[in-house]
Structure 1
Amino acid sequence: MNSQISPSPQFYLTAPAACPYLPGEYERKVFTHLVGPRAAEMNDLLTQGGFRRSQNIAYRPACEACRACVSVRILVDQFEPSRTMRRVLNANSDITAEIYPAQPSTEQFSLFRTYLDSRHQRGGMSDMSALDYAIMVEDTHVNTRIIEYRRRVEGSGIGAAKGELVGVALTDMMSDGLSMVYSFFNPELEKRSFGTFMILDHINRTRTLGLPHVYLGYWVKGSAKMGYKTRYQPQEHLTARGWELYTGEDEA
């Protein structure tokens, strides 16, 4: 693929396809390539404009008759965890997290397959191979990192054993915060609300960096599996008028 990028990126429109979130609906996406020396800058601008990244593609919904997909970002400085969220943090106090360059591993892929086989057997990612996973992680021209979550073990220093890998987040480091591109975890930890724990960890990391936002991607009105995204308050939703404070009225 050509690694050059023109001063003005070229945008393309996909053909209609079945919507993965709302039965009976069809989706279209507008997309462009994130390559070349300005890829990170372009990723920032496009993410702030409602796009999401997948490998070296930035895309956003462009459906003809539906506006259910809404970009969501958490306002980190004002965020306070609820009592339930504090219990989640306590339940996962035995977990450590380390950040690394965006490089795949066999251990990550094994956990990824376990997660897909448990949670997304019929999804579009269900048949992903080790090579597909490696491409998902490595095919990036922006500032992307892998965060590994492990059970804490005693001991430290050179040669110390690593704890069991229980979660992974693929995260873009942006000028105004962190964007959670994709995350997965050991399904056995679902009772610990481990997905919630990883979002809370990203909020804490963003606050430590002195940046204002955690981008969660799209909240889809009417999709039960996307409902969790509105729990992290306060947050902003991208509307036709720009980023606006979410009040819950969209769910009425």
Structure 2
Amino acid sequence: MGSEKSQDIDDLRLFHTAEHPCGYWPQRIARDLVMDPRDPQLPRWYPQALQWGFRRSGDIVYRPHCQGCRACVAVRIPVMRFRPDRSQRRCLARNADVVTRVLPPERTPEQLALYQRYLGARHRNGGMDDHGPSEFDQFLTGRWSNGRFIELRDPGSDGPGPLLAVAVTDVVPGALSAVYTFFDPDQARRGLGTLAVLRQLQWAAEQGYPHLYLGYWIKGHPKMDYKRRFRPLEGFNGRNWRDMDAGEST
């Protein structure tokens, strides 16, 4: 068994991408480490890749590997130890009537329309403005991942009401991974991004999954601050996962 696993690791191929503008700090140059997307064993390696600090985007499993920069820190929430803070409890109370539905990762016209509205409001001129059905499928569903679309909806009198948010979530042995979330930009007061994580945590707890992976956190980046508010939070240092709250007052 051990020698067979060692042979698998020897056969695992990794590639460096070309340098490209950083998606978080535009003035910086980025580079990624990517698992071979043609490898038929990629779905089997994916759970381990998450533990190594990688992340999925479409069919690509990658990890930032930039020269002279280690700003991107892979983070995850230990589900059973998580306790919502006061702000998160208010978010839950404010959205107590929101309906959660866990669905197969199959695009609907309503989801696509919300996705396009979200990109237009939150990521205008970010290179994704013209995303249509094919880009939606390529970016969010993937061909081999075991994903789910977690829909958050307003309550309706005769069933679920208008779509508020979609949290694209991968299911792997022992964990959930938050791939991407988009939501109604006109419902800012609801805190739908925070609510999506809280509902993913609830689902993970119900299913007995120990971890919810949140992708990357970058210290000082305004779009990443919300991840630090989920405590306890574990960060990957390149070798091990460590509690980022150790020594801090909570």
TM-score by length of 2: 0.90
Give 5+ residue unaligned stretches, structure 1: 156-160
* Structure 1 residue 137 displacement after superposition: 3.3
Q: Which moved more, 1:122-131 or 1:100-109?
A: 122-131
* Matching residue within 68, 75, 80 for 2:78: 75
- Provide the residue aligned with 2:43 in structure 1: 40
Structure 1 residue 144 displacement after superposition: 0.8
Residues 212 and 35 of structure 1, relative CA distance in 2, 3 Å threshold: farther
Give the equivalent residue in structure 1 for 2:11.
8
Q: Report matched runs for 1:56-71 at 5 Å.
A: 56-71=59-74
Given residue 235 of structure 1, which amino acid in structure 2 is its aligned partner? L
Deviations 1:26-72 (A, max 9, x none): 10001124567643321101011000101111000110100000000
C-alpha distance in structure 1 between counterparts of 2:113 and 2:246, whole Å: 38
- In the TM superposition, what are the counterparts of 1:162-201 in structure 2 within 5 Å? 162-201=160-199
Q: 2:34 aligns with which of 22, 26, 31?
A: 31
Q: 2:135 aligns with which of 119, 132, 137?
A: 132
Give distance in 2, aligned partners of 1:31 and 1:8: 14
Q: Distance in 1 between matches of 2:155 and 2:117?
A: 21
Instruction: Decide which of 213, 216, 226 is 1:215's aligned counterpart.
Output: 213
How many Å separate the matches in 2 of 1:35 and 1:102? 22
Q: Distance in 2 between matches of 1:33 and 1:94?
A: 43
Using the alignment, how far apart are the partners of 1:38 and 1:154 within structure 2?
46
- Contact 1:11-1:31 at 8 Å conserved across structures: yes
Name 1:22's counterpart in structure 2: 25
**Which AA in structure 1 matches 2:127?**
G
CA-to-partner distance for each residue in 1:227-251, whole Å, 9 max, x for gaps? Answer: 111100001100034100102789x
Question: 2:99–2:160: 8 Å Cα contact kept in structure 1?
Answer: no
Deviation sequence 1:191-211 (CA, Å, 0-9, x none): 111100000001111111111
Question: How far did 1:6 drift?
Answer: 10
Structure 1 residues 119 and 165, CA, compared in 2 at 3 Å: closer, same or farther? same
Q: 1:54 aligns with which of 45, 50, 57?
A: 57
From the superposition, tell whether residues 131 and 75 of structure 1 become closer, same or farther in structure 2 (CA, over 3 Å).
Answer: same
* Cα distance between partner residues in 1 of 2:60 and 2:224: 22
Task: State the superposition RMSD in angstroms.
Answer: 2.1
Name the CA distance, whole Å, in 1 between partners of 2:139 and 2:26. Answer: 27
Further displaced range: 121-130 or 236-245: 121-130
- Secondary structure at 2:245's aligned position in 1? coil
1:89 is aligned to 92
Percent identical pairs in the alignment equals 37
Q: Is the 8 A contact 2:52 2:238 kept in 1?
A: no
Checking the alignment, whether the CA contact within 8 Å between 1:170 and 1:183 is kept in structure 2 is yes
Question: Within 1, Cα distance between the matches of 2:247 and 2:133?
Answer: 42
1:154, 1:33 → 2: CA distance?
48
Secondary structure of 1:43's partner? Answer: helix
With over 3 angstroms needed to count, the CA separation of the structure-2 counterparts of 1:33 and 1:249, relative to structure 1, is farther
* Aligned structure 1 segments of 4 or more residues deviating by more than 6 angstroms: none
Native 8 Å contact 1:61 1:69 kept in 2? yes
Unaligned 5+ runs, structure 2:
1-7
Letter paired with 1:43: Y
Q: CA deviation at 1:150?
A: 1.0
> 1 CA distance for matches of 2:22 and 2:243?
27
CA distance in structure 2 between the aligned counterparts of 1:23 and 1:123, rounded to whole angstroms: 11
1:177 Cα deviation after fit = 1.4
Contact 1:33–1:56, Cα closer than 8 Å, also in 2: no
Note closer, same or farther for the CA distance 1:44–1:34 as it changes in structure 2 (3 Å cut).
Answer: farther
* AA in 1 matched with 2:23: P
**Match of 1:181, SS?**
strand
Assess if the C-alpha contact under 8 Å between 2:72 and 2:218 holds in 1. yes
97, 114, 122: which is aligned to 1:111? Answer: 114
Which amino acid counterpart does residue 232 of structure 2 have in structure 1? P
